[in-house]
Chains A and B, each alone.
Chain A
Amino acid sequence: MNAAVSAPVRLPDPRSTPDAAAAPATPLTAKDFATDQEVRWCPGCGDYAILKTIQQLMPQLGVPRERLVFVSGIGCAARFPYYMDTYGMHTIHGRAPAFATGVKLANPELDVWLVTGDGDGLSIGGNHLLHLLRRNVDVQVLLFNNEAYGLTKGQYSPTSREGTRTPSTPEGSVDHPVSPLAFALGAGARFIGRGIDTVRPRLAEVVRRAHAHRGASFIEIFQNCPVYNDGAFAAFTARERAPVAQIEVSHGEPLRFGRNAEMGLRLDPRRLRLEVVEPGRDGMTDEDVCIHDETNRVLAQLLVAMESPDLPVATGVVYCDPAPEFVDAVVAQREGVREARGGIADLDALLRSGHTWRV
């Protein structure tokens, strides 16, 4: 990540106490975030790399362990909280965003993370995810996208590409997939990012940024399922293809990629779409390459729509433009009413207000 790019500073949190924010006496390590539970994902699953990335990142965030909460729904990804030695809630299919919202409403000081998958988050739980994002609840959402239902043995998912052959679609799926990031943008998300399970430092950086963002942050993580959908993302994640089939976006930096960054993305102004150009060829110069502006929602829409093989797949922080957070607003409204009505409420007085009579 370019040093010139300053991460948005987390807004001063009026609810956190100096004590709670203080660093522990002995610095924590990744091991402190591992539980004694045997990890039960299949050998070679991308979830292992994501778990390790998060466990290693946690000590760097400076949040006391007891304030960290991992909430999940159902599916392979949703087992995540069992392996994190923090507070955790493995809930029911699709509803993790609603549980997380309730947790934040009751205790805004908790640092809430939500782990979901493509089926959990975008099929059965699509509605809840939509509303968590539009309300802008201060939760980090990690969506592990493997384009398959793993725990139910390999059916196609809402992100599976057309024609995907699975036990439930033996002749190939016929429905059109949803793009998680396009969905999130459409829902009004103010932070969207993307990472790849095995590209760990880069993923960690996106997660760190998501954590720093106050409000709902949404990260799609391409996660390989070696059992039911092996190589689903190989077209742009395979070692030899990655430099030319991916673009790592950074705020304020030119949108360049390629083995020697020889290619760039240019906005075709007549067709209003991104195209790949090579500065120095076909009359193109460095000036033709777009600069990434993570506060630009229109650019974000263009970037998330890029698909392999015609265009490189974008990773990194695609969009970050903070807006007022939901629970802050709820608390401010509640406390405002409380103050306007004279502080601590008296139930006995309330019951005796209005028409009363004595017998």
Chain B
Amino acid sequence: MAAAQELLKTGRSGEREVLSDVVVRFAGDSGDGMQLTGLQFTDATALHGNDLSTFPDFPAEIRAPAGTLFGVSAFQINFGSDEITTPGDELDVLVAMNPAALRTNLSDLHPGGLLIVDTGAFGAKNLRKAGYERNPLENGEVSAHRRIEVDIPRHVQDAVEGFGLTHKQAVRCKNMWVLGLLMWIYGREREPTLDGLATKFARLPAIRDANIAALNAGHAFGETAELPAETGPYDVPPRTDTQPGLYRNVNGTEAMAFGLLAAGQLAELPITFASYPITPASNLLHALAARKEFGVTTFQAEDEMAAVCAAIGAAWAGGLGVTSSSGPGIALKTEAITYAATVELPLIVINTQRAGPSTGMPTKAEQSDLYQAVFGRAADVPLPVLAAASPAECFGVAVEAARIATRYMTPVIVLSDAYLANASEPWRIPDLADHEPFPPAFRVDPDGFHPYVRDPGTLARPWVRPGTPGLEHRVGGIEKDYDSGNISYDPENHQRMTDVRTAKIDGIAAGIPEQALEAGEAGSRLAVVGWGSTWGAIHQAVRRVRADGLDVAHVHVRNLWPLPRNLGALLRSFGSVLVPELNKGQFLRLLRSEFLIDAAGVSKVAGRPFRVGELEAEIRNHLEGRS
């Protein structure tokens, strides 16, 4: 077979070698379909029973010029037989569909890792665009890695001949060829993927057949070609210690959308989701716009301010108002959020954080809106702030945000980020029946009513649906009299109202769980304290150092404001506290100022999540410095 001659070296074992975990990155041009390839491989891997974590990394440009370094789009998956909580540090396999993909990703492939290269894309023009003066496949640059170098377009063209496709259409199937090869190397079931392709392209029979043929050809290539030694095939057996149940794969955006739908059902309220397009938050609008059968009303407003104001208007009218954006958009919504806080209406504000400031890097992750969420408002306006720690956790956080918002009549800010929104992991599908419904008790009794009369327990004011006879009333941003709700400029009344608004938010701490430990116990030598999407990397890093016998605990905070009531005492129990975060130390300063503890920070603002290895090194360094 001609293919075999393209290989550098022959020799293959007849049996599958067993591996515990693997990191694969698909990298190519924005138009090469790497995200789709990655998602298909993810589905097949999930169905195989592996634990997994994925990380799509794509440029902000929609169709960057072909072959350029800034147009490279990548999708990384880490899968294994044990618990997987990050997309992985170093790559075991890199698929590079062109020279630009090779150049921007090669340094992440560990020595001895497998490099799969489409030689068909390594012409002089593409090499020049990637800044290579000579072909890196020929000058020894990649010699440390095991390699499969294939002219993929040629193989694809052979496979799809006779389907009546143009050359361009045929070559576009090359991502499916790569998928087929990877599925053979790791022994993934092809059938569900082929079924999926058949459904997806049901109305385009030629495209459907070509994609299926390309995938099968890639698979057959692996099976029949003489692959280099130590390039498979492998077996990554299913994870065996998984909690029994029905699972699906979910990314943070999907989980957040499902969570909001669940929140609407549990609160028995129709959702009005008002948003303005912004990367990386827009996908949440798309996800909910596609779910009108749940009674969700989505509203693409004319700008960020209109979006939040429409959500507040909907809340005032008795619905569950939700708005969503990213940091710059949240900044524009801020005045309206303070309005919702002073008229004391429930509102959910979701911030899918991205690398800033200003436009920054819209598709890249950062945690630098913590100050904005906790403090970033004119006047004294404390608000509850929640952060999801993993993609799947977005579901529960959305539900909890709705519960707090409606119970305490307050806006709630939810922090996600570009990584959580796009990364995916297996999710044990919950039953809605396992969640406690929380329908609000709308006020209907005119007796003794004024709009700011408070529940003595929660300090929440009553929620009234306009349309209720006898409860006609006005709300507004002007200060309200504590006893009548009417406009008041009285100095002592303003003190009292500011105090009670603060006390209401502080009081939420009584209604949320105490801070638990992810690993270790109170009094450990060191606690690594994180929040948000860094959970996976901290979890693995702490696990590694604990396996070496180091006395290190992991604390991960979901309730960023108000903080859990036992957090101060817990943090003071540790020998020292280390706070890694994807910003310049915002949570670190919050903890230091709240609890007067001498915590240290680890800061990273590279638009990428922490690697397990770098956190592990930071933990070891920290302990050495303190010993």
* A→B interface (CB under 8 Å): 20, 35, 37, 64-67, 69, 71, 74, 81-82, 84-92, 95, 97-107, 109-110, 127-128, 130-131, 330, 333-334, 337-338, 341-342, 345, 347-348, 350-352, 354-359
Q: Are A98 and B301 in contact (CB under 8 A)?
A: yes
A25 to B317, CA, bound (A): 26
Residues of B in contact, count (CB < 8 Å)? 72
Give the CA-CA distance A342 to B294 in the complex, in Å.
11
By beta carbon, the residue of chain A nearest B238 is A359
List residues 8-36 of chain B with CB under 8 A from any CB of chain A: none
| Cβ-defined contact, A89 with B469, below 8 A | no
The residue on A at minimum CB distance from B192 is A355
Chain B residue with the shortest CB-CB distance to A80: B474
- Cα distance, A71 to B475, chains bound together (Å): 10
Q: For A98, what are the chain B residues with a Cβ–Cβ distance below 8 Å?
A: 301-302, 305-307, 309-310, 313
Number of CB contacts from chain A to chain B under 8 A: 205
A228 to chain B, nearest CB (A): 21
Given A69-B466, A107-B319, verify A101-B313 contact (CB < 8 Å): yes
* A338 in contact with B466 (CB, 8 Å): no
* A107 surroundings in chain B (CB, below 8 A): 317-319, 465-467
Please tell me if the beta carbons of A347 and B265 are within 8 angstroms of each other in the complex. Answer: yes
Interface residues of B in 35-55 (CB under 8 A from A): 43, 46-47, 49
Could you jot down 15 A-B contacts, CB within 8 Å?
A: A88-B473, A90-B477, A92-B309, A102-B315, A104-B317, A105-B313, A109-B467, A338-B292, A342-B293, A345-B291, A345-B293, A347-B258, A351-B248, A355-B46, A357-B46
Q: B574 near A: Cβ within 8 Å? A: no
Would you list the 9 A-B pairs with minimal beta carbon distance, nearest first? A102-B313, A90-B476, A102-B310, A98-B309, A106-B319, A106-B314, A98-B306, A88-B474, A106-B317
Q: How far is the CB of B240 from chain A (nearest CB, A)?
A: 9
A357 touches which of B47, B305, B467 (Cβ 8 Å): B47
Q: How far is the CA of A65 from the CA of B468 in the complex (A)?
A: 10
Instruction: Flag if A358 contacts B247 (CB, 8 Å).
Output: yes
> B373 CB to closest chain A CB, in angstroms?
20
* Distance, CA A105 to CA B306, complexed state (A): 13
Inter-subunit contact B432/A81 (CB<8 Å): no
Partner of A106, one of B249, B272, B472: B272
CB distance B246 to A66 under 8 Å?
no
In the complex, chain A residues whose CB is within 8 Å of the CB of B316? 89, 99, 102-103
User: A63 to nearest B CB, angstroms?
Assistant: 11
| Smallest beta-carbon distance A313→chain B, Å | 31
Whether the Cβ atoms of B432 and A66 lie closer than 8 Å is no
B455 contacts chain A at the CB level, 8 A cutoff:
no
B224 within 8 A of A: no
User: What 13 new A-B contacts, CB under 8 Å, besides A107-B466, A333-B292?
Assistant: A64-B469, A67-B467, A88-B473, A90-B478, A98-B306, A104-B313, A105-B297, A105-B313, A110-B317, A330-B297, A338-B293, A357-B49, A359-B49
Known A-B contacts A106-B313, A107-B465; the reply to A351 vs B470 at CB < 8 A is no
Q: A64-B469, A82-B487, A347-B262 are in contact. Are A105 and B299 (CB under 8 A)?
A: yes
Q: Separation in Å of the B39 CB from the closest CB of chain A?
A: 10
Question: When the two chains form their complex, are residues A352 and B248 in contact, meaning their CB atoms are under 8 A apart?
Answer: yes
Contacts of B429 in A (CB 8 A): 351-352, 356
Inter-chain contacts of A350 with B (CB < 8 A)? 258, 261, 291
Docked CA distance A358–B487 (Å): 59
**Given A98-B305, A131-B306: A86 and B244 within 8 A (CB)?**
no
Once the chains bind, are B469 and A90 in contact (CB under 8 Å)? no
| Residue B619 is within 8 A (CB to CB) of chain A in the complex | no
Report chain B residues within 8 Å CB of A89. 313, 316, 343, 474-476
- Assembly CA distance A30 to B305 (angstroms): 35
Establish whether residues A95 and B336, one from each chain, have CB atoms under 8 Å apart when the complex forms.
Answer: yes
B309: chain A residues at CB < 8 Å are 91-92, 95, 98-99, 102, 128
Chain B residues lying within 8 Å of A37, measured Cβ to Cβ, are 486-487
Residues in B neighbouring A35, C-beta threshold 8 A = 474
For residues 70 through 104 of chain B, which have their beta carbon under 8 Å from a beta carbon of chain A?
none
Q: Are A128 and B311 interface neighbours, CB within 8 A?
A: no
Which residues in B have their C-beta under 8 angstroms from that of A71? Answer: 313
Does A102 lie within 8 Å of B272, measured CB to CB? yes
Contact at A359–B247, with CB atoms within 8 Å?
A: yes
Q: B135 in the interface, Cβ–Cβ < 8 Å?
A: no
